[in-house]
Every structure is written in C-alpha cells, then in structure tokens.
Structure 1
Amino acid sequence: MNKHTCFILIFLFGGLNILFGQTKVGGLVKSTSGETVPFANVIFENSSEGITTNESGEFYLQSDQDYEAIVVSFIGYKTLRVPLESSVNLDMEIVLEEEAAALDEVVIYRGKTSKKNNPAIDILRKVWENRRKNGVNAFQQYSYKEYEKLQFDLNTLDSSVIRNPVFNGMEFIFDYTDTNRVTGKTYLPVFINESVTRVYGDNEMDKKKEVLLGNKNSGFNENRNLIDAVKDIYDDYDIYKPYIKFFDKSFVNPVSTTGIESYNYILSDSSYIDNKWCYNIIYYPRRENELTFRGNFWVNDTTWAVKKINLETSRDANINWVKQVYIEQEYEVMNDSIFLITRDFFMADFGLNKKKDSKGIYAKRTLLFDDYEFDNEKPESFYQQEVYNPQSYVYDRTDDFWETNRMESLNKDEKGIYVMLDTLTRTRAFKRAYNVATLLESGYFDFDGWDLGPMYSTFGFNEVEGVRVRLGARTYFGQNDPWRIEGYGAYGFRDDKFKYGISGKLMLDYKSRLIIAGGNRRDVEQLGASLTNTTDVLGRSLASSALLNVGDNDKLSSINLSTFSVSVDPVKNLSLRFGINYREINPASEGFSLAYYTDEARTEVDTEINQTELSTILTFTPGRKLSGYGVEPDVVNEEDFPTFFLNYSLGVREIFNSDFDYKKLQFFYNQPLLIGGFGRSNLSMEAGKTFDPVPLALLSVVPGNQTYFAIYNTFPTLDFYEFVTDSYVSAHFDHNFNGRFLSRIPLLRELNLRELVGVSVVWGDLSEESRMLDASGLMLQAPDDDPYYEYSFGIGNIFKVLQIEAYFRGNYFENPDARSFAIIADFGFHF
C-alpha cells in the first residue's frame, strides 16, 4: 500500500462512540450578544494544556490528566472559569462577558490587528532579535536518539458505519474505538508503527546518517512504502524558518518575519512553563484561503525563546483531500543562543470533502528527541550511505527493547491496537477492502502471486489500429520481489493484428542493486514522443493511443524491439546501466515513409531500419528516497529531488547485420523547485547530439503533441515530425502558484483554483549529411534560425482533479498547417 492507497480507503469505508481518556471537553464559545468568539483561549486550569477556538468559536480539548475546570479567555472579555461536572463534558456552551480591557496596558484589537502599539508584535520582534539556532546546526557534529510513533485511523464513525456491509466479518474492531484529542471525533485505529533511530550529523562535511535501531508495526511489514510516504510529508523542525513545508506546499510560519503580513497577533495570557514565566500569543490569518495557520505560542519573558507552539490549518486552506493539519512542538532552550526540539506532533485529517461531519482518515506522527550529544567527530567514511542494508534484526526486537527505548509509553488503547490489527489483517473482509483500494490506486487486480492490469490502459485508439484492446499481467509476491516478469497482449480491430510485449528483471545482489533485465516488444508506436532515448520494452506514450487527436495522427511506426541490460548502483542514488538493443522499424501508417538512400548516388532506397545500439547510461538522483529493496522499489518523494541523466549510445553495424554506425550523446536534467509562498515550479533541460549521419527513424524528433492530454516535456502546438534534429537543446519551465492570487478574489475563493504558467523553448540543427540520407518525402526542418518557443496559461485544481492549460505558439507561424493555439487537459490526484 502506498500513500494514495490509504486515501482511497476513505471511499471504501464511506465514511461507536466508546470513550476513553481522563478529561474531555468540547463545545462553543459565544459572547453575551450571541456572536461566536473565534480564536479564544481554552486551557485546563493550572496547566499549559490548551487550544484556541476555530473560526466558528468551536473547540475540543482532551488530556490524560484529571482536571476540575477549564479557563476561557480572550482580549476584550472577562476571563471565565468553567467547572467540569464529569470527566467528559461535550456540547458545552460558554458565554463570555465583554469588558474594557483584559490585561494592564494592553491595547485591544478586533478583526485585523494593527502593527503599531501592539504588545504581541512587540514580543514577536524580541523573538526575531533573539532568534535561536537549531541546536543540531550550531555544533560541528551532533547526534541524538529519535523515537517515532506513526498511526492511521478511520474517523467520524457512527452507527451507519458499523452497519455498513463493508465491515461484515470485522465487527470486533469497533471495540477499539477512541476519540481524537484535537478534533473530538470518534476514530478507529487501522495502522500503527513505532521506530527508534540514532541520528548522526556533521555540519562541516554537510553529512547526515540515520541508523535504525528498532521497528515494530501492526502487521504491515510488507508495506514500508506507506510508512516512508507519511514520514516524507512533513520533516521540518525549525520554528524560525520563514515557511513550514508539507504536502509539497509552503505555509507561512507565524513566528518568522514573513508572518507579520499574513497574521493578526494578540497577547492573550501569561503563565509559568517549566518554571519560566512565558507570554501566550494568539495568532490567526488576515485573509481566507491562504496557506496559513491559526493557534498560539508561548514565549519566555527573558530569553525570548519560543517554548511551545501549536499550528492548525483552517478548513478553507487550499489543500485537496485534507480537512485539517495540526502541529504541536515543544522546545528546550540550552542557552541564550541555542534551542533543541524535544517533541513534535503532526496530524493530518484526510477526507473527500471538508464538511465537518464527513468521514475520513487521520494520519498521526509523534516524534520525541532525546540523548543529544555534540562535537563527537567521526571519519567521513562513517557517513557513507550503503545502497541497501536490510537490517532484518531491527524488525524483531524484544519487548524489553521497546520498554527501554520508548520515550513515551503506549496507553492501554494503543497497546490493544497491535492485537486488533494483527487479527484484522488476517480477515477476508479486510483483505477484500484492501484489494479494492490497491486496484483503484495501482490499476492492477491482485491475485495470489501475480497481478492483472493495468486496467487504465485497456482501451486505446489510433488511425492504424483503430480501437485497441490491451490486457497485461505481472508477477507480484510482495514489494521486495527479487525478480519480476511482466507482459501484455494487444489487438487492433482496424489492422487486425496482434501485438505483444514481455520483459523480465532479476536482482543478483541486493547491496549493490545488481540487476539484469531483458525483453521484446512488437507493437505500433508514435516515435518521436520524447527527446531522451528510452528502451523500456513495455513503455508506450499516450501519443500512440490517445482516444482524441488534433488533425491526422498519420505518422505511426511498427517496431520490433529487443533489449538486454545490466545495471548496478555503485553508491546510493547513482545508477549505471550497460545495455544492448536491437530495433526493426517500419512505417505503419499508410502514406508515411521512413525511407532512406543506401548508396552515394541516391538511387537505391530502403524503407526498413535494422539497428543495433550499445548504450551506457548514468542516472543520478540525489535526495531520492526509496521504499523497499526489490527490483522495482517505490519512490517515496517523487516530486522532491533533482534528476541527472547521461546517455552515450553507439550504433554498431557489425552486430546482427545492423544498418548504421553512429555515436549519440544525450543529457537530461530535471529540478523541482518549491519557491516559498509563491508556489511550486519545475525546470527541465535536455541536450543531445548525433555525431554521424542517420536516417529519419534514428534522428531526434522535437516531440509535438497532437492529443488533448498532457504528455511530459512535449510541445502541444507542434505536430508530430514538424521539427527534426540531430543536435538540440530544449528547456521547459512550469509554475503552479497554488492559488496565491485567485484565493484573494471573493467570488473565486471558495473554488480553490490554482494559477498555472509555463514556457518551453527548443533550438536544434540538422546536418546536411543526414538530410542527404533522407528519402521519406517529408519536409525535414529544424528550429535552427531562432529557437522555437511556446508559452501557456492555465487553471488547475478544477473539481480537485482537473487542470486545463492554453498553449500559444511563439514563432514559426509560416510552417505548413502551423497550429498557433492548443488546449491541453491533465487529470490527477494532487494535494
């Protein structure tokens, strides 16, 4: 199960009120005039455990301790002590009485607070002046122990859920329900994972190493990708940074200097925390629909260090499938310049919509930090990361190990989760639901040891095959399979021909990821849909089978491709592959030609290419995180790391009676960019050169796109084969503003739309020698006078799954049948 499978379970469960814990309170805070009081402070008496009411004046607060009263306060109202009649007090209605002032010498602000003469902002400026360094960055070397508890829960359970046929055979699980301490909703745990890690770092060498000491979970040992995916969502512990990043988005940090333009601040209270007098500051957004938080933080009155903070997103924050995110952090101040984080709690409430009572899933992650050590130097070799180290023993630790290394004991309900979930994963009913979720996410029907699919490529259409039907399958015993066989068969009803593809991979060594692979494919394909070479036997671009096309898609080819390769990872995230492939290429479309001259007099012509190619490919993906160690591991952080690709190919005539000798060099670079509060960008660049004359089928075609759907790194206003090169340089830049501007327009604000812009450019040349070889009859043209460019504007997040972009051609309007405009749609699940 990967990160999306978990979210799909929301659909299946459609989304019990058995309550545990010591003290639970919830309700509504109003004024004497009947208006709700948002952002009021609600705290257990004689404690620092508290929360602020939301935009509607609602609150829920829970503690493992017994308390007799809560204290409710807000600037402009009299502080109210509310006795608690029992350990559970829900649906409370608390009325605050207005008064002239709440604190001595405090100016009262309502609505948007002023930046002048505001004591809260005065305190905030003191925080900026005395900004601390994160302790791990203040020393040459550091190490610490980290305990992590990760949990998934189904939430908002009621009688309709219990009676749902989905749970037939799983009724026993409802004995394990509880209420969430942040939202007050009833939830059912469905997954728990604990781990203990020792983290080492050297700031001088900019090196970091994590050593897993122990891991324990609830029967999902084969699903490390789910665990790793949630870990990757949020990993930012420095409260003084301008932005806090999760779900590929940058939220404005209320404690940083960037926050003053996005938040209102109010000095609310003061109290002792860890025997130090602290001020409590409430903050909330100035505008709706922006990537901001609401909550409060405590600041020490002498060191001006933040001791404790909670951050909660509002329901109108522009994040898909996430109703709420809640973060708590606690710190220890070592001295006047350094702070250390001691506790970090992150919770995301996933749901199909943001209605208060809609059902969904909680993802909760608790991190505790302890046993800090500094300036203990280790050699550089210590930080050398292994390509893979299975460490199987860390998954089989004894109960004594966990009793010693847990920094926070499990409560009685969490201990019961292990028993319940290990039983649940063995029930037929749960396996059925799990398999349906896997099907929706991956597109494969799961059988015992093999999968059928992917179902999303079952039907296609092109002018050669007409309606195309495809059926595929693969072996699949688990995430860490050391070998895999995959194949498909396809049939076109217009050409009445059968096509197929089959491939296999075998891992010979786990630690170096030494893999041999090979396969064969006979199919119809749109060549030139990508500049960078690919020898993926089962790969097929959408350009080859899109149901809708612009103009005539009449330049398809028949290809018989056989490949064999050996790959190895000499170091982590660096892959080296040596391969050989043999291609037979023929035109498949009527009237389309790939012909070339075979003699210097240009009197003899051949229409088929038989070509053997040797390749050496280097791929470097620094920062990439993989889950699993099989032949096909899952990438956890797909949109977070750069990719460098270098390919040197050698065409050899002497092998398998090949037609041409040539040398080709290609480079590709892709870089995702998260630009603070301005959204997310992606930059990619490609360059290549073929050093010897080759015919059309072996040239580098600038990839056009005659479909109505997005195809990566293509030019939507170009037709297929409009530009052909043997030397080229191209670049694509796309930016998503994440609704930064549309969220400020009242009529559009509620739609959570996102602004998209982009520009693409390519320059290329075609040598006279390659032109002289060509006998296809096509007008071979390269963008050699001026670089060809196009630009785009679009709207994303339409109905949460659709984006539409308009592309405009920038030049070369004189080309025959040149298209000056294109509309492209793209579908997908994005946060």
Structure 2
Amino acid sequence: MNIVFYTSRFFLVIGFLLISCSAFAQKTVVTGKVTDAETGDGVPFANVYFDGTTIGVSTDFDGFYKIETDKATDSLVVSYVSYQTRKKAIQKGVTQNIDYQLASSEETLKAIVITSGKRENPAWEYLRGVLEHKSENDKRRLSAYEYDSYSKVELDVDNISDKFKEKKMVKQIISVVDSVESLAGEDGKPVLPLFISETISKYYYRDNPVKRKEEIQKTRIKGVGIDDGSIVSQLVGSSFQDYNFYKSWIQIAGKDFVSPVSESWRLFYDYELQERSEIDGIWCYHIDFQPKREEDLAFTGTMWITDDSTFALKRIDVTVPKTANLNFIEKIKIQQDLKRIEDEKETAWIPVKTRILVDVGQINDQWAGMLLKSYSSAENIIINKPKELRFYKDAIVVDEEVNNSTDEFWQENRHDSLTASEQTVYAMIDTISNLPMVKSYIEIADLLINGYKDIGKIDIGTLLTFYSNNNIEGHRLMFRTRTNIDFSSKIQFFAGIGYGFKDEKWKYSGKIRYIANRNPWTVISVAHQYDLQQVALFNEDFRSSDNYLFTAFSRWGDLSRNRPFYHRQSSIDFQTDIIKGVTSKITYRNQEYDPLFAFEFFDPENSDIRRSNFTVSEVMAEVRIGFRERYINGEMARVVIPSNFPVFKFRYIRGISGFLGGDLEYHKFSTRLEHSFRVGIFGRTDYFISAGFTPSTLPYPLLESHLGNETPFYNQLSFNLMNYFEFVSDKYASINIVHDFNGFLLNRIPLMRRLKWRTFVEGNMLIGNVSQKNIDLIPNIDSNGVPMPKFGSLGATPYAEVSYGVSNIFRFVRVQAVHRLTYLDKDDASKWGIRVSAQFRL
C-alpha cells in the first residue's frame, strides 16, 4: 500500500508540475514587416499565420504585423493574392522580429463551377448586397466633407538591367551613389530615385452643385530636372489621388477601368468567397476577384465587405497585371482603407489611407523601367458642413509660403513617418541632380520635348522650325528665342527671325506677354509678325492649335496649290476668367494679305474697284466654357485638367473698314462643341461639332477654307480624304465622331488578344455652301485678261468620309483606312486611302 500510495502521489505531482509549466510557459511572439520584393513598399492585408494552426493575423496598411501563440509551432507563413507564399523558421517561446519580402506570382483564382441543381457562387450574395447599398455608403451622398490631407509621391528608375548599368551616365551615377542596393531591401531589386515629394493640405468637397477645393499648405519637393515647382506642387496634392471604387468606371492615366463593384460586375469578374476576418474591430467578408479575360481593363485583387446590414466596402486591394491591354505598364496597384464617418443625419465610408503604385516596364533590355509610388491619408474628417459657393471659386490654392518649411515641421505634421529608404531618397536625389552628365541629359530631353534650350534667362529654339524647304522660299532658316522664369515671373518676351534664300525675304515675329493676375488668370499680349502663309491652311481653329509637328512640315515641298501669300499681322489681346470654367478673350488684330498666286476681287462697296492686296482691321471676341474643369497655374503658363463634361467655344469677329487701314467691313460667327464620354463596356466616344456663319460679302481668303489632308499622316483637325483648298464655305456645320473600343473586340479573339491591338471607327461629315454674292466677288479674268482660278464649294450633298482601323501596333502606331463617300466624281478625288499616325498612349 505504501509503495502504491507514494507512486500515485509521485505521478500526481509530476502531472501538476507539467500542467503548471505549460500554463506559465513563455509565449512565442513575432513582429515584423511584409514588403514587396520589387518595390520595397509594405504589403497591407497579407495573411500571417503559424504553420499547422488556425492562428493568424493580417498586416496593417503599412505591412506591419504582430502575432503570438503558446502552442508548439516552428514556422511562420505569409501569403497573399498575386504573391508567392513564404515560410520562415521561428524560435519557440521568445519574442522576435522577422521581416518578409514577397515576390509577385501569376497564380489565379480557382474556377468556381456551378452545375445544374447546385446553388450559385456564394460570393454573389454579398456583391448584390454591395450594389443595393452603394448609394448609402458612397461618400458622394454627403452634402459635403472636408479633411486634413497628407500625401507623398516618389518616382524611381527600377528594373535596372545589366546592359543599362553599363551606360556611361548610369555608371557615373552608381559610382557616386553608394546606397542604391539598400533602397529596395536585401531581397529586392535596386532602384535609382528621381523624385520625391510630401504635401500637407486641406481638402473640401460639396454636393449640389459639385465643387472641390484643395488648399495646399506645405510641400517638400526634390526632383531631378524639376523646373516649374509651382505646377508640381499642385499635381502632388490629394486632388489627383482620389479613387472611388463605388464608381462603375475608374479612370487611371486616361484609361477607364471597370470597378469590381460596378453594375457590370458579372460581365467582367470572377469571384471567390474566403473566410471572414476582423478588421479594426469590424467583421468582414473576404472576397477575391479577377478578370474573366486577362486583357480587359479590370483588376485582380481582394476586398473586404462589412458583415452587417450595410455591406460597405471596408478595404480593397487591386492590381492591374501586365497582361491587361496597356502599353509599357507592368503593374498598377491601388490599396485603400475606408472608415465609417457619421453624424446625426447620415453615414458614409471615406478612404482614410490610399496607396498607389504604377510600375512601367522596360522598353527593351537596353533600358530600365520606372516606378511611381504615391500615398495619401485623411484625418480630422468633417461631414455635411458645406461652405458657401464662393469659397470653392478656386479648385486649387497654393499658400505663398508653401515651400518654406523645416524638418521639425514635417516630423510634427506628417501623418506617417518616412521609412528609412524614403529618408535616403532625399539625399540621393541631390547627389544625382548635381552630376554634370545628368544635367546634360536633362537639357537634351528638355530640348527634344519643348524645342527650346535654356541658356540662362532666355531659351533658344526651336528644332522643328529651324529649317525647311519649299518652292517659294527655297532653303529657309528660322531662329526663335524667349525669356523664361529666371528673367521674370510676370512678363515674357518672344522673338523670331528667319530668312528665305530663294525669295530673299526676312521673316520675323515678336511678342510681349504679361501675366497681369493669377487669380483670376489674366494675360495681356502684344504681338507683330511677318511670314509666309497658305490660304489652304489659314484655318482659325488650326492657327490656334498646338499641332506643332503638322505646322512645321506644312512648310515643306510645293506650296503653289495651297495658294501662298505673305502675311503681316499686328495684334493685342486680353484674356481673363469671368467665372470659374468660363474664359473670355478679346483680340484686336490688323492683317495685310499679299497673295503670291493669281488673285483679284471686286471691292464689295464699289464693283468698279479691283483689289489684290488688302488689309483687314478686326476685333475678335471669344468665350470658352469648360464645365467642372480644374486649372493648374504654373510659373508662366496654365494647365487645364479636363472634366467629363462638354467644352463649348464661341467666336465672333468684326471687321472694321477705314480703321487703321482696314479695307473691308464684315461679321463672322463660329462655335465648337467637344466632348468625351464612356459608353459602358463598349469603349469611349469623342465628338466634335463645329459651325460657322459669315453673313458679309468677302473674298475667299477670309471665308472658311476647310482643312484637307494630302499627306499619308492622319490629322484630327482635317478631313483626311479632302484635298487642300477643295471646299470653301461662308456657312457650314461639321461633326467628327471617333469611337475607340479599347480592346473590347480584339480581346475576345484568342489569337489577337496578346497583340494588345485596339480597334476604332471614325466618321466625318460637313455641310456648307457659299452665297452667290461671294462667288461673284471673284472676276472670271484678271485685269490683264488672264482667267482667274476659282474655288470650290459644297452643294446640297454633304461631304462625308468614314474610317476604321487598328491602333497600338508596336505600342504606338495607328493605321486606318479612310473611305470618301461623296463627291467621288471629281477628277482629283481619292475614293479611299490609308492614314498613319503615332500615338503615345498607355
């Protein structure tokens, strides 16, 4: 008995000790950060769990995690959609730090097959819930909201190939930058920084009418080749980083991507319901999704939908893979965390953290790629307290002291601290910018893009117009110069001097441009010029366009058919914003016409007088209305950010006889409407409607000479199968419609989808005529009895042409077949033709 008693007591004591030791054993605690192996950025929402257990957590928005257990386990696993899963060994019973870098993966969702008699995809129930409650959760339902915003933007060179490293400039950079390898981390790829910025601002929005405003308070900018810091300061604010996934279509870099919670969700996406997870104390349904067709402009990713009656979007992480029908883009990634904001009346979900990444791939192995990263956050959110309308007069306001700040200011006011690599970037950019070879390459790039070379306070150029050759001037040289911001921020001088070696005439131009006010934007200009022009190209809209390439090459070859003339013009104009979105411009100009072709006309007031040379003195009033457009005021220019609403232009010209030598009295009216809009899943349509009326009697050089195109190159402003000077009108209306399917058709053809070609169709139509009194103004023979050349006009039948084609060939070539539908009986009419152009589009 004693032996049994003591034996039993021994095992009871041992058992108690084992239980006690287990109860008081140290926990295994692991903390760390999960980052993208290519970019070095944190990976939010990744799954972190102990291998062989159900214990797991998710990383926060910056990629950090903390997990603990008292169970026996020897490894920790990290996984996430579109990344390769990684496992690392851990030490039991201790607190430790383990970081992970995840490499990209091409893995797709498992197909969910629904057979007859079985229930539908379980994720669809929650997708329908999101759509039913979309209007209740979308921030646009609020009458107003405002918040304190912090944003940062970084641009790097990445995908640095061995051949790219061998380039002379790159060698020089790498030799002086000793921390290149450390920017992306030990397992990541090295990057070279080009630009980094931080911005603190106040953002405001109101509904009915929709108005936005951002007050940019402080910016901190470092960049290689950054000259106009005022424009950059406005571009890096939160206004241009606002993505709302409750919208059916999300525009990124000019492309429309379908949202995974759009009304067309079943047409574009496959979904897979995962396990529930808790985020910020809220239980959410976890749903993975991917495009049905990998070439569509759609996202792969994960979203978290709240597990309550609201079905709100709590988190979303989307990626556009390189298989999508985009050029040069390896990946686009957007990650967003939303927060419920409520007052006594309403509730909505507003993004409080957004991270965007755009990875531009290598053109070839001789080059590197580009990596654009941005981050924005919102704090101190206030809803349903709209300001008065006049408060939103200016969409973007930059504080006068925006660039004056200290390190201490940023440490106290930025919403999130900089990572170690971001702190390194500031110093590296300074080093790279000061390298002589880098400065030289920046100057060459600026010359190629802008046509001018900066030589201090003035710029000289331009490349496109420096030399040309035609039958009138022979060899022609033209030299231009202008002052820049280093000379003055208010006044700018332009000058040009040229010479034709055949006609032995000097051509010249001069202009003074004064920025009288930046708010509202007000500019006064005075100009004078003497140059060779062509009636066939003397189109008012074309003259005011920025088609520099077409303008430069229009001076080459035989110009006789285009009816050339020497043109002298003096002008003064005043431009200002009447209200937001409405710009007015008043111009006085005096023009002298000296034709180089057989030309005479009867004086409209006295038919006994014939004129060849003539002078016009005219006043022109223009109004431009751009609904909901935003403006960025630069140091010497203003950039217009278009909206999704139409743009309307109206122009009136009054010719004054007897004033400063004016020979003719007349009135001219013209208008133009242009608009771009999405047509659901079928692509995007752009249309341009123009109309004009000249009730006065005028010689044809002052009427509307419809722009033709006899080159093999496409020109959007012209009728591409119309000959030069084929039709002239004193009253007309035209419409141009272009519909781009954006790969909608070819993405569905297996053998074509990998080419990433895009189809489009276009139609052009013109109606117009010339009054008999304007026709009779031109005599049949000149003063010497020589027959006078006439001009053509449209009859009752409209001019029409249609075209169709393929764009994005070799990523930038556009080829279209054009068919002329009317006036085919003319001897020189082309019934069809091929037009080629180059487009740089994503």
Match of 1:373 among 359, 382, 385: 382
Question: How far did residue 785 of structure 1 move?
Answer: 0.8
2:288 alignment counterpart: 282
1:238 alignment counterpart: 244
1:144 alignment counterpart: 147
Separation in structure 2 between the aligned mates of residue 396 and residue 123 of structure 1, nearest angstrom: 49
The alpha-carbon distance between structure 1 residues 65 and 550, as it changes in their structure 2 partners (threshold 3 A), is: farther
1:432 alignment counterpart: 440
Match of 1:255 among 248, 258, 261: 261
Query: Does the 8 A contact of 2:216 with 2:234 survive in 1?
Result: no
2:304 alignment counterpart: 298
Question: How far did residue 479 of structure 1 move?
Answer: 11
The alpha-carbon distance between structure 1 residues 180 and 276, as it changes in their structure 2 partners (threshold 3 A), is: farther
User: In the TM superposition, what are the counterparts of 1:664-679 in structure 2 within 5 Å?
Assistant: 664-679=668-683
Query: Does the 8 A contact of 2:151 with 2:238 survive in 1?
Result: no
Query: Does the 8 A contact of 1:311 with 1:327 survive in 2?
Result: yes
1:56 alignment counterpart: none
Q: Deviations over 1:482-518 (max 9, x none)?
A: 2222233444455454433332212233333332212
Query: Does the 8 A contact of 2:727 with 2:792 survive in 1?
Result: yes
Separation in structure 1 between the aligned mates of residue 296 and residue 278 of structure 2, nearest angstrom: 33
Q: Given the alignment of the two structures, is residue 317 of structure 1 paired with residue 345 of structure 2, yes or no?
A: no
Q: Which deviates the most, 792-801 or 41-50?
A: 41-50
Q: Which deviates the most, 367-376 or 807-816?
A: 807-816
Separation in structure 1 between the aligned mates of residue 620 and residue 540 of structure 2, nearest angstrom: 13
**Secondary structure of residue in 2 paired with 1:441:** helix
Query: Does the 8 A contact of 1:73 with 1:80 survive in 2?
Result: no
**Secondary structure of residue in 1 paired with 2:295:** coil
Question: How far did residue 547 of structure 1 move?
Answer: 7.9
Question: How far did residue 233 of structure 1 move?
Answer: 10
Question: How far did residue 651 of structure 1 move?
Answer: 0.9
| Identical columns (%) | 24
Match of 2:624 among 619, 623, 645: 619
**Secondary structure of residue in 1 paired with 2:535:** coil
Q: Given the alignment of the two structures, is residue 448 of structure 1 paired with residue 453 of structure 2, yes or no?
A: no
Separation in structure 2 between the aligned mates of residue 666 and residue 479 of structure 1, nearest angstrom: 38
The alpha-carbon distance between structure 1 residues 553 and 47, as it changes in their structure 2 partners (threshold 3 A), is: farther
The alpha-carbon distance between structure 1 residues 508 and 117, as it changes in their structure 2 partners (threshold 3 A), is: closer
Question: How far did residue 174 of structure 1 move?
Answer: 4.0
1:47 alignment counterpart: 57
**Secondary structure of residue in 1 paired with 2:440:** helix
1:730 alignment counterpart: 734
Task: Return the letter of the residue paired with 1:327.
Answer: I
Task: Return the letter of the residue paired with 2:158.
Answer: N
Query: Does the 8 A contact of 1:500 with 1:522 survive in 2?
Result: yes
2:190 alignment counterpart: 186
Task: Return the letter of the residue paired with 2:817.
Answer: A
Q: Given the alignment of the two structures, is residue 348 of structure 1 paired with residue 358 of structure 2, yes or no?
A: yes
Question: How far did residue 407 of structure 1 move?
Answer: 1.5
Separation in structure 2 between the aligned mates of residue 163 and residue 712 of structure 1, nearest angstrom: 42
1:9 alignment counterpart: none
Separation in structure 2 between the aligned mates of residue 456 and residue 543 of structure 1, nearest angstrom: 9
2:371 alignment counterpart: 362
Task: Return the letter of the residue paired with 1:481.
Answer: S
**Secondary structure of residue in 1 paired with 2:415:** coil
Aligned residues: 768
Query: Does the 8 A contact of 1:529 with 1:543 survive in 2?
Result: no
CA RMSD of aligned residues (A): 3.8
**Secondary structure of residue in 2 paired with 1:238:** coil
Match of 1:687 among 686, 691, 701: 691
2:603 alignment counterpart: 598
The alpha-carbon distance between structure 1 residues 141 and 233, as it changes in their structure 2 partners (threshold 3 A), is: closer
2:465 alignment counterpart: 457
The alpha-carbon distance between structure 1 residues 136 and 181, as it changes in their structure 2 partners (threshold 3 A), is: farther
Separation in structure 2 between the aligned mates of residue 50 and residue 70 of structure 1, nearest angstrom: 16
2:26 alignment counterpart: none
Q: Which has the larger radius of gyration?
A: 2
Query: Does the 8 A contact of 1:766 with 1:781 survive in 2?
Result: no
Q: Given the alignment of the two structures, is residue 807 of structure 1 paired with residue 807 of structure 2, yes or no?
A: no
1:18 alignment counterpart: none
Q: Deviations over 1:147-193 (max 9, x none)?
A: 11111111134666555421426744342555559994332332111
1:308 alignment counterpart: 315
**Secondary structure of residue in 1 paired with 2:402:** helix
Task: Return the letter of the residue paired with 2:124.
Answer: I
Separation in structure 1 between the aligned mates of residue 119 and residue 599 of structure 2, nearest angstrom: 74
The alpha-carbon distance between structure 1 residues 25 and 470, as it changes in their structure 2 partners (threshold 3 A), is: closer
Query: Does the 8 A contact of 2:214 with 2:397 survive in 1?
Result: no
5+ residue gaps, structure 2, are 1-31, 39-44, 50-55, 68-74, 92-96, 781-787
The alpha-carbon distance between structure 1 residues 69 and 179, as it changes in their structure 2 partners (threshold 3 A), is: farther
5+ residue gaps, structure 1, are 1-20, 28-40, 52-61, 97-107
2:208 alignment counterpart: 204
Higher relative contact order (CA 8 A, sep 6+): 1
The alpha-carbon distance between structure 1 residues 366 and 181, as it changes in their structure 2 partners (threshold 3 A), is: farther
Question: How far did residue 552 of structure 1 move?
Answer: 7.4
Query: Does the 8 A contact of 2:57 with 2:65 survive in 1?
Result: no
Q: Given the alignment of the two structures, is residue 643 of structure 1 paired with residue 654 of structure 2, yes or no?
A: no
The alpha-carbon distance between structure 1 residues 681 and 467, as it changes in their structure 2 partners (threshold 3 A), is: farther
Query: Does the 8 A contact of 2:330 with 2:360 survive in 1?
Result: yes
Match of 1:215 among 213, 219, 234: 219
Query: Does the 8 A contact of 2:215 with 2:397 survive in 1?
Result: no
The alpha-carbon distance between structure 1 residues 116 and 233, as it changes in their structure 2 partners (threshold 3 A), is: farther
Query: Does the 8 A contact of 2:216 with 2:237 survive in 1?
Result: no
The alpha-carbon distance between structure 1 residues 93 and 686, as it changes in their structure 2 partners (threshold 3 A), is: closer
Separation in structure 2 between the aligned mates of residue 185 and residue 805 of structure 1, nearest angstrom: 41
TM-score, normalised to structure 1, is 0.83
User: In the TM superposition, what are the counterparts of 1:389-538 in structure 2 within 5 Å?
Assistant: 391-466=399-474, 468-477=476-485, 481-492=489-500, 494-529=502-537, 531-532=539-540
Query: Does the 8 A contact of 2:219 with 2:233 survive in 1?
Result: no
**Secondary structure of residue in 2 paired with 1:260:** helix
Separation in structure 1 between the aligned mates of residue 512 and residue 568 of structure 2, nearest angstrom: 17
Separation in structure 1 between the aligned mates of residue 763 and residue 545 of structure 2, nearest angstrom: 31
Q: Deviations over 1:402-447 (max 9, x none)?
A: 3343221112332333333344434433322322332232232232
Q: Which deviates the most, 415-424 or 259-268?
A: 415-424
Query: Does the 8 A contact of 2:472 with 2:559 survive in 1?
Result: no
Match of 2:831 among 808, 813, 820: 820
Query: Does the 8 A contact of 1:323 with 1:354 survive in 2?
Result: no
Separation in structure 1 between the aligned mates of residue 59 and residue 244 of structure 2, nearest angstrom: 22
Separation in structure 1 between the aligned mates of residue 81 and residue 627 of structure 2, nearest angstrom: 49
Task: Return the letter of the residue paired with 2:111.
Answer: R
Q: Deviations over 1:260-292 (max 9, x none)?
A: 212221223332222233232221222132111
Task: Return the letter of the residue paired with 2:485.
Answer: F
Task: Return the letter of the residue paired with 2:651.
Answer: N
Q: Deviations over 1:624-668 (max 9, x none)?
A: 444344443344x36866432222211112122221011112212
Q: Which deviates the most, 531-540 or 755-764?
A: 531-540
2:156 alignment counterpart: 153
User: In the TM superposition, what are the counterparts of 1:83-232 in structure 2 within 5 Å?
Assistant: 83=89, 87=98, 110=111, 117-131=120-134, 133-134=136-137, 136-157=139-160, 164-167=167-170, 168=172, 171-175=175-179, 177-178=181-182, 184-218=188-222, 220=226, 222-226=228-232, 228=234
**Secondary structure of residue in 1 paired with 2:797:** coil
The alpha-carbon distance between structure 1 residues 227 and 740, as it changes in their structure 2 partners (threshold 3 A), is: farther
**Secondary structure of residue in 2 paired with 1:457:** coil
The alpha-carbon distance between structure 1 residues 607 and 251, as it changes in their structure 2 partners (threshold 3 A), is: same
1:661 alignment counterpart: 665
Query: Does the 8 A contact of 1:322 with 1:354 survive in 2?
Result: no
Q: Given the alignment of the two structures, is residue 830 of structure 1 paired with residue 816 of structure 2, yes or no?
A: no
Question: How far did residue 596 of structure 1 move?
Answer: 0.5
TM-score, normalised to structure 2, is 0.82
Question: How far did residue 258 of structure 1 move?
Answer: 1.4
Separation in structure 2 between the aligned mates of residue 702 and residue 656 of structure 1, nearest angstrom: 29
1:105 alignment counterpart: none
Task: Return the letter of the residue paired with 2:130.
Answer: V
